[in-house]
């Protein structure tokens, strides 16, 4: 064989190896990146002399193509407790876009007396949400299924109810204000970043 | 020079050269840019730049090829009258530009071929805009790149008249028929008028420095300038052929096809009711690929089951022909150098270079960042500098260009064209290079050295972008 024939054979081998590696190469499309975003904030004012529950609603925005998500709901006390120390009962309910109510969670919020600095100790509720949009083992071959139909058009509804400390309630002289906020952490699938080229500058 | 090969007929040469020039730039990029950047106002700017820059540049490249009867590297040496001339580096630039473009061009041609076959077998009718996500990269993309490269190698290995000419005299008339057929079909559909208004209503407020930069880029892109293709094809012309006549014919045929493509795409989007659709607008705004592989498939589906399949399949067949004929001309550039300079057998040269470009095309097939990187290197490094200096060289240093341009003509216009090669054309090209390549143009129309291309609609020709792309590609993000 002439020298050029060896060169052609060598390039052919390289092309074959490149093809094999290229076929075997699979980008890790099942990986994920977490995105955390605040949802909303609300306050509930609980009048002084009444030990009762109040409720408000937060709504998560519509999103796209998440594989999994978690939502934290944080409830804070902003009142002016004096004494003695007591506990408020906080209950959070999450309803998914289809109207299914996730199991409610209840916690007791400690409200400190003045000697302990006053104020309440934040309570955090965590909910694992299944947005049901994209299978966790998504690969590029599944991209056909990952179109706009996988977005969720309706938000999750978060209901929070609070019962003031009952004994003795007069120690919250101006009533109590509880604020609560939710933050969602969404795991976004990588496939969104796969097609990066939208145009070419050169060619013919 | 029968050993080098020669075109059998003037028609064959013009079809091959038009095939080289007509590609994705005409069928998709030009219509989108025209609609996006002022309609008829952009067309005026484009035609002005075609006359001032594109025509002198293509005539310069073709003259060098025809005068020297040589492939790019030798052509510069011979035209300079010095076998050791440093101008030969411009030939190397052209070869590298062609090779770098091939690193991704056959991949895109493969997308078109895949869409053609998928349209025959229901591949994208259920999810017209979704198929592209899975077609763009992956093992099957490698396969279709292989198919296109193999076809390109075969045609180039068959020689000038026996391969390239035979293929292009079939493909180009077929492409023209497809485009005209769809244009006529659209013309009789109710509601198509909005498409014509979209492309022809002039909006001079859209014109900016960015537009001029884009228009010059489009001229280079569309005419296959700076990639050695026109020079190489012209080197196979018969002596009696006129560079000026043929070059002008090629330039205007190329622009004519681009205009026809605009008259095909936008009326189709209009009568299918998609032109006003925000999703379609977003697909159009996203670029040529969004237009060809997302917006148009949606339009074809909207035409109905039978008509949509027919129009969709012939459109993608036409797009494939356009891309294949361009890929053939690009592969011919390094092949001609190996045949001329190394005495290599044509089929061996075609096989060798085809395998090289295919191998790098595997990278473009598995990760779009590589495609982007090869594209930016070809354009920002090789094409712009190559076109400017080649035109300058043809005007100032090459011997016999004016005489060659006058050959076969009754009037002497060569000296005027050479004057444009010496002055207006290289200055405009370099201005574009400096302001479009080194600096970005931000959405306010201001030059910004560190403006990242592509950010918020800024110009895409920016060297910072190139550096970014290096990073992205090598990290395999």
Which two tokens mark A16? Answer: 């074959």
Q: What does the pLDDT read at residue B278?
A: 81
Give the integer Cα–Cα distance in Å for B309 and B306. Answer: 5
What's the pLDDT score for residue A133? 45
**Token digits for B325?**
């004929």
Judging by DSSP bridges, how do beta strands A86-95 and A66-77 pair with one another? unpaired
Compare CB distances from B348 to A8, A15, A18 and report the shortest one's residue.
A8
Measure Cα distances from A203 to B217, B222, B324, B365, B446 in Å. Answer: 10, 7, 12, 17, 27
The closest CB to that of B351, out of A8, A144, A200, belongs to A8
CB contact under 8 A, A22 and B20: no
Residues in chain B closer than 8 A to A15 (CB atoms): 355, 358-359, 362
Residue B218: which pLDDT band, with cuts at 50, 70 and 90? confident
Average pLDDT value over all residues in chain B? 87
Coil vs helix vs strand at B390: helix
Measure the CA–CA gap between A203 and B84, rounded to whole angstroms. Answer: 30
pLDDT: is B143 or A61 the higher one? B143
Which residues of chain A have a CB within 8 Å of the CB of B221?
201-204
Alpha helices in chain A (DSSP H): 3-24
The 10s digit of each residue's pLDDT in B92-109 is: 999 999 999 999 999 999
Judged by a CB distance cut-off of 8 A, whether residue B217 touches chain A is yes
Q: What is the pLDDT of residues B304-337, one digit of tens each?
A: 888 999 999 999 999 999 999 999 999 999 999 9
Handedness of CA B247, B249, B250, B254 (dihedral sign): positive
Question: In the A/B pair of chains, how many CB contacts fall below 8 A?
Answer: 142
Digits of tens for pLDDT over chain A (204 positions)? 789 999 999 999 999 999 999 998 865 444 444 545 455 555 555 544 333 334 445 544 444 444 456 667 777 776 555 445 667 788 888 777 667 788 888 888 887 766 666 677 888 888 776 654 444 333 333 333 433 333 443 456 677 777 766 654 445 555 566 666 666 555 444 333 344 456 676 666
Give pLDDT, residue B192.
Answer: 95
Compute the radius of gyration of chain B from its Cα atoms.
21
Estimate the crossing angle of helix B72-80 against helix B88-120, to 10 degrees: 150
Please give the structure tokens belonging to residue B31. Answer: 């219509």
Per-residue pLDDT at A147 = 37
Instruction: Give yes or no for B460 touching A (CB within 8 A).
Output: yes
Whether the pLDDT of residue B217 is over 70: the answer is: yes
Which stretch of A103-117, A138-152, B284-298, B410-424 has the lowest confidence by average pLDDT?
A138-152
- Cα(B457)–Cα(B189) distance, integer angstroms: 33
Pull the structure tokens for residue A113. Answer: 């007396």
Q: Which among B351, B373, B293 has a CA at the least distance from the CA of B109?
A: B293
Q: Sign of dihedral through CA atoms B11, B17, B19, B25?
A: negative
B308 inside 8 A of chain A by CB: no
The mean per-residue pLDDT over the stretch B24-43 comes to: 90
Question: According to the model, what pLDDT value does residue B2 have?
Answer: 40
Q: Please report the residues numbered 12 through 71 in chain A whose beta carbons come closer than 8 angstroms to any beta carbon of chain B.
A: 12, 14-15, 18-19, 21-23, 25, 27
Least confident span in A186-195, B79-88, B377-386, B403-412: A186-195
| Tokens describing residue B409 | 């003509």
Question: Is residue A1 within 8 angstroms of chain B, CB to CB?
Answer: no
A25, A194, A197: residue with CB nearest B371? A197
- Cβ of residue A203 closer than 8 Å to a chain B Cβ: yes
Cβ(A40)–Cβ(A182) below 8 Å: yes
| Separation between Cα atoms, residue B30 and residue B101, nearest integer Å | 18
- 8 Å CB contact between A180 and A74: yes
Which element (helix H / strand E) includes B389? helix B384-396
What separation in angstroms does the CA of B124 have from each of A187, A197, B305?
Answer: 29, 20, 12
According to the model, what pLDDT value does residue B379 have?
78
On whether any CB of chain B is under 8 Å from the CB of A197, the answer is yes
Which stretch of DSSP H or E encloses residue B324? Answer: helix B305-342
- For B131, the closest of A144, A198, A201 (CB atoms) is A144
Residue A125: CB partners within 8 Å, gap ≥ 6?
A: A72, A73, A74, A75, A90, A92, A105, A107
Cβ separation of A22 and B356 shorter than 8 Å? Answer: no
pLDDT at residue B475 greater than cutoff 50: no
Any idea of the CA torsion for B8, B9, B13, B19, to the nearest 10 degrees? -90
Q: Residue A144's closest chain B neighbor by CA?
A: B130
Q: How many CA atoms lie within 13 A of B11 on its CB side?
A: 6
Which CA distances in Å does B148 have to A148, B48, B138, B328, B367? 32, 35, 16, 10, 18
B433 — pLDDT class (breaks 50, 70, 90)? low
CA dihedral angle for residue B45, residue B47, residue B49, residue B50, rounded to 10 degrees: 160
Tell me if chain A has a CB within 8 Å of the CB of B6: no
CB A18 within 8 A of CB A160: no
d(CA A54, CA B306): 61
- Closest of A6, A49, A7 to residue A175, by C-alpha: A49
Residue with the bigger pLDDT between B48 and B135: it is B48
Q: Are B222 and B254 in contact (CB under 8 A)?
A: yes
- Where does the pLDDT of residue B207 fall: very low under 50, low under 70, confident under 90, or very high at 90 and above? confident
- Is the ipTM here above 0.95? no
Give the mean pLDDT of B237-250: 95
Mark which residues 387-406 of B lie under 8 Å from A by CB.
none
pLDDT(B53) > 60 = yes
Q: Write out the H or E segment, with its range, that includes residue A168.
A: none
Q: Lowest mean pLDDT of A53-57, B127-131, B396-400, name the range.
A: A53-57
Could you tell me which of B423, B399, B70, B38 has the C-alpha nearest to residue B228? B70
B26: part of which helix (H) or strand (E)? none
3-state secondary structure labels for all residues of B221-268: HHHCCCCCHHHHHHCCCCCCCCHHHHHHHHHHHHHHHHHHHHHHHHHH
Judging by beta carbons within 10 Å of its beta carbon (0-12, 13-18, 19+), is residue A110 exposed, middle or buried? middle
**A77 or B370, which is more confident:** B370
Query: Which tops the pLDDT comparison, B417 or B121?
Result: B417
For chain B, the straight-line distance linking the first and the last C-alpha, in angstroms and rounded, comes to 50
The reply to whether residue B290 touches residue A194, judged by beta carbons under 8 angstroms, is: no
Contact B131, A143 (CB under 8 A): no
CA-based nearest residue in chain B for residue A28: B477
A2 interface with B at CB cutoff 8 Å: no
Q: Which of residues 161-200 of B touch A (CB under 8 A)?
A: none
Question: Does residue B265 contact residue B31 with C-beta atoms inside 8 Å?
Answer: yes
Spatial contact of A45 and A139, defined as CB atoms under 8 Å apart: no
Angle at which helices B166-187 and B243-271 pack, to 10 degrees? 40
The answer to whether the bond into B242 is cis (omega within 30° of 0) is: no
Tokens of A197: 């080229």
Judged by CB atoms closer than 8 Å, whether chains meet at B368 and A140 is answered as no
Q: Which residue intervals of B85-234 are DSSP H helices? A: 88-120, 131-135, 139-157, 166-187, 193-200, 209-223, 229-234
Determine what percent of chain B is predicted with pLDDT higher than 90.
65
Å between B133 CA and nearest CA of chain A: 6
CB A107 within 8 A of CB A120: no
Q: B177-182: which pairs have CB atoms within 8 A and are 24 or more residues apart? A: B178/B314, B178/B315, B178/B317, B178/B318, B179/B27, B179/B257, B179/B260, B179/B261, B179/B264, B179/B318, B180/B260, B181/B314, B182/B264, B182/B268, B182/B311, B182/B314, B182/B315
How far, in Å, CA of B72 to CA of B60, rounded?
13
d(CA A22, CA A50): 70
């Amino acid at each position: 064989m002439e020298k050029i024939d060896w060169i052609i054979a060598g390039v052919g081998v390289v092309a074959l190896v490149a093809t094999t590696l290229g076929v075997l190469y699979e980008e890790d499309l099942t990986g994920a990146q977490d995105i955390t975003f605040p949802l909303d904030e609300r306050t509930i004012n609980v009048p002084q002399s009444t030990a009762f529950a109040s409720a408000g609603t937060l709504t998560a925005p519509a999103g796209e193509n998440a594989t999994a998500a978690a939502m934290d709901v944080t409830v804070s006390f902003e009142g002016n407790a004096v004494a003695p120390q007591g506990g408020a009962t906080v209950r959070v309910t999450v309803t998914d876009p289809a109207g299914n109510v996730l199991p409610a969670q209840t916690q007791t919020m400690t409200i400190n007396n003045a000697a302990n600095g006053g104020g309440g100790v934040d309570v955090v509720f965590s909910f694992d949400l299944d947005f049901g949009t994209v299978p966790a083992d998504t690969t590029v071959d599944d991209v056909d299924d990952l179109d706009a139909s996988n977005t969720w058009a309706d938000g999750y509804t978060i209901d929070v109810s609070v019962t003031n400390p009952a004994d003795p309630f007069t120690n919250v002289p101006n009533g109590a204000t509880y604020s609560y906020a939710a933050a969602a952490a969404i795991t976004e699938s990588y496939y969104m970043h796969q097609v990066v080229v939208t145009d070419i500058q050169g060619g013919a | 020079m029968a050993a080098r090969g020669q075109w059998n007929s003037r028609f064959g040469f013009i079809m091959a050269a038009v095939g080289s020039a007509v590609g994705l730039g005409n069928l998709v990029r030009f219509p989108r840019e025209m609609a996006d950047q002022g309609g008829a106002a952009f067309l005026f700017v484009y035609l002005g730049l075609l006359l001032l820059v594109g025509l002198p540049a293509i005539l310069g490249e073709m003259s060098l090829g025809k005068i020297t009867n040589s492939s790019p590297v030798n052509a510069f040496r011979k035209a300079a009258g010095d076998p050791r001339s440093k101008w030969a580096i411009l030939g190397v630039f052209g070869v590298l530009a062609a090779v770098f473009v091939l690193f991704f061009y056959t991949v895109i041609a493969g997308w078109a071929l895949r869409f053609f076959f998928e349209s025959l077998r229901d591949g994208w009718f259920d999810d017209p805009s979704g198929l592209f996500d899975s077609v763009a990269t992956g093992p099957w993309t490698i396969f279709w790149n292989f198919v296109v490269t193999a076809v390109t190698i075969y045609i180039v290995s068959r020689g000038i008249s026996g391969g390239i000419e035979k293929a292009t005299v079939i493909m180009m008339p077929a492409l023209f028929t497809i485009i005209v057929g769809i244009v006529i079909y659209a013309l009789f559909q109710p509601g198509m008028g909005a498409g014509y208004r979209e492309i022809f209503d002039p909006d001079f407020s859209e014109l900016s420095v960015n537009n001029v930069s884009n228009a010059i880029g489009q001229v280079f892109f569309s005419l296959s300038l700076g990639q050695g293709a026109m020079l190489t094809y012209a080197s196979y012309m018969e002596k009696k052929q006129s560079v000026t006549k043929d070059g002008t014919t090629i330039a205007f045929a190329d622009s004519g096809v681009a205009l026809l493509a605009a008259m095909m795409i936008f009326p189709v989007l209009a009568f299918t009711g998609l032109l006003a659709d925000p999703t379609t607008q977003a697909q159009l705004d996203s670029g040529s690929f969004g237009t060809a592989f997302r917006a148009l498939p949606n339009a074809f589906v909207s035409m109905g089951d039978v008509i949509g399949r027919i129009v969709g399949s012939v459109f993608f067949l036409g797009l494939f022909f356009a891309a294949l004929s361009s890929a053939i001309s690009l592969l011919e550039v390094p092949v001609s150098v190996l045949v001329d300079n190394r005495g290599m057998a044509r089929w061996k040269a075609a096989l060798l270079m085809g395998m090289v470009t295919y191998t790098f095309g595997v990278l473009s097939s598995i990760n779009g960042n590589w495609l982007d990187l090869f594209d930016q290197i070809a354009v920002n490094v090789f094409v712009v500098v190559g076109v400017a200096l080649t035109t300058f060289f043809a005007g100032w240093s090459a011997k016999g260009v004016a005489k060659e341009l006058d050959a076969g003509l009754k009037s002497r216009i060569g000296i005027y064209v050479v004057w444009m090669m010496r002055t207006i054309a290289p200055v405009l090209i370099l201005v574009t290079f400096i302001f479009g390549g080194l600096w970005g143009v931000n959405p306010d129309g201001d030059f910004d050295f560190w403006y990242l291309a592509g950010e918020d609609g800024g110009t895409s020709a920016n060297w910072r972008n190139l550096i970014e792309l290096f990073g992205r590609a090598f990290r395999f993000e």
